[in-house]
Amino acid sequence: MTSAYWCRMKERTHLRWVLPEAEDELLDALARLSVDRGLGLGPETRYVGSFRAHGLLVPVWDAPLDREAEAMEEPAVALRARLDEALATDQPLTAEQRRARSGLLSRQLTLN
């Protein structure tokens, strides 16, 4: 797992994953996964949104405060495989996937 980092704050733990793919294609793939309930990283985790940094999209997941980074590696590898499969799809998004994509965009920030 490359370009991911673990961020432990006062009451939260996050996995932030800098992904190299183009933003539009990546958002389409994340929307596909969201509809298929494939955006999670295991029990007690949830996708919380993303931010853009230096032109790259950085998805963010919440994890339990007591979860260690090593425990996220296997779920992240599985997510990467699902993401690669979704990125390889050339079908247009369905109406449900377009709604999911809009929801993902609404939770996105730009950091300068």
Per residue in 4-14, pLDDT tens? 999 988 888 99
Quick one: pLDDT at residue 112?
52
Name the one residue in this structure whose structure tokens are 């006062």. Answer: 10
8 CB-near residues (< 8 Å, 6+ apart): 14, 65
Smallest CA-to-CA distance from 57 within 67, 47, 72 is with: 47
Smallest CA-to-CA distance from 16 within 56, 43, 74, 44 is with: 56
pTM: 0.91
Quick one: pLDDT at residue 18?
97
Quick one: pLDDT at residue 35?
97
Per CATH, which fold does 4-111 belong to? Alpha-Beta Plaits (3.30.70)
Residue numbers in the chain where pLDDT is lower than 50: none
* Total residue count of the chain as it appears in this document: 112
What are the sequence ranges of the domains in the chain? 4-111
CA–CA separation, 51 and 54 (whole Å): 10
